[in-house]
Amino acid sequence: MVARALSFGAVAETYERFRPGYPVELLELVTAYAGEPIRTALEFGAGTGKATRVFAQGGIAVTATEPDAAMLAEMRKHMPSNVTTLQATFEELPLDTSYDLVYSAAALHWTKPEGRWARMAELVRPGGVFASFASPIQLADPALKEAARAARAPYLEDDGVPSPDGTPADSPMQWPGTELQQSEWFTDVQQKIIDRRLTISANDYIGHLSTLSAYVMLQPTTRDQVFRQILRVLPETVELNTQVDVHLTRRQN
């Protein structure tokens, strides 16, 4: 998992180009849940700053942290003045400051489970908010999705990241909500979905796949081969399900 977590720097510019950003509805959802102004925020695993920019545009003073030097360098090209950047893993973050909001965009699963929530509780001020969100992009057409899976299967059995606690996909509450519901430090766990669809070219979809850790970890020749096979079964443009899965919780006072 550590190797996969730190694999993205090799594709930092591609990541910035092909990963979709987050909608302003995400900022609105988190702000409404907080129920009071959010002045300071900490983001860990910020990548190239796709989510950072959404929260920064809300006037929040964001400290965006990222362990990979290449991803951090790419992020710094795009940051407004109210964002402070820092190279660090979640486990390396100093605990001398707490924030109104701590959030993670598709990065929480890369953190170590041991002591995760105790450390999170140190970073979120009492009454403050923790938010985790991700956009597990999939082909919207079930037939195309199956065709792409079959094309990929000889080279890569699964291109996703499994649930860290083994929660089944049909469970009413998904991870990390499942863990947060058991935490002594957090309360009022909510799970929300922001529906989105996006139409892009098949080549751009392959560009997106090239930023997923499962493909980054493949040997280059294998990676090129699987992309050719997937591209062969796709039409010129594809519709994607780009819904944002959001988990929200509040730090106990």
pLDDT digits (tens, 9 = 90+) for 203-234: 999 999 999 989 998 999 999 999 999 999 99
Could you tell me which of 8, 17, 35 has the C-alpha nearest to residue 101?
A: 35
Following DSSP, what letter does each residue of 146-209 receive, concatenated?
HHHHHHHTTT-S--S---TT---TT-SS-TTHHHHTT-SSEEEEEEEEE--EEEEEHHHHHHHH
CB atoms near residue 234 (< 10 Å): 19
DSSP H or E stretch at residue 231 = helix 220-232
Structure tokens at 205: 């979809």
Structure tokens at 100: 């109104």
Q: What is the pLDDT of residues 169-191, one digit of tens each?
A: 999 999 999 999 999 999 999 99
Q: Look up residue 233 and give its DSSP letter.
A: T
> Which long-range contacts (C-beta less than 8 Å, at least 24 apart) are formed by 74-81?
74/12, 74/13, 74/15, 74/16, 74/48, 75/46, 75/47, 75/48, 75/49, 78/16, 78/48, 78/49, 78/53, 79/49, 79/52, 79/53, 80/53, 80/56
Q: Across the chain, what does the average pLDDT equal?
A: 94
Looking up tokens 């170590």 gives 112
* 3 pLDDT tier (thresholds 50, 70, 90): very low
Which residue blocks in 12-89 are alpha helix, DSSP H?
12-18, 24-34, 50-56, 69-76
216: Cα separation from own chain's centroid: 16
Rg of the chain over Cα atoms, rounded to whole angstroms, equals: 18
Could you tell me which of 35, 251, 31 has the C-alpha nearest to residue 127?
A: 251
Q: What is the pLDDT of residues 131-156, one digit of tens each?
A: 999 998 999 999 999 999 999 999 99
What is the mean pLDDT of the segment spanning 159-174? Answer: 93
CA distances from 187 to 183, 219, 248, 249 (A): 8, 44, 9, 6
Q: What is the pLDDT of residues 99-135, one digit of tens each?
A: 999 999 999 999 999 999 999 999 999 999 999 999 9
* 4 pLDDT tier (thresholds 50, 70, 90): very low
Q: What is the pLDDT of residues 42-76, one digit of tens each?
A: 999 999 999 999 999 999 999 999 999 999 999 99
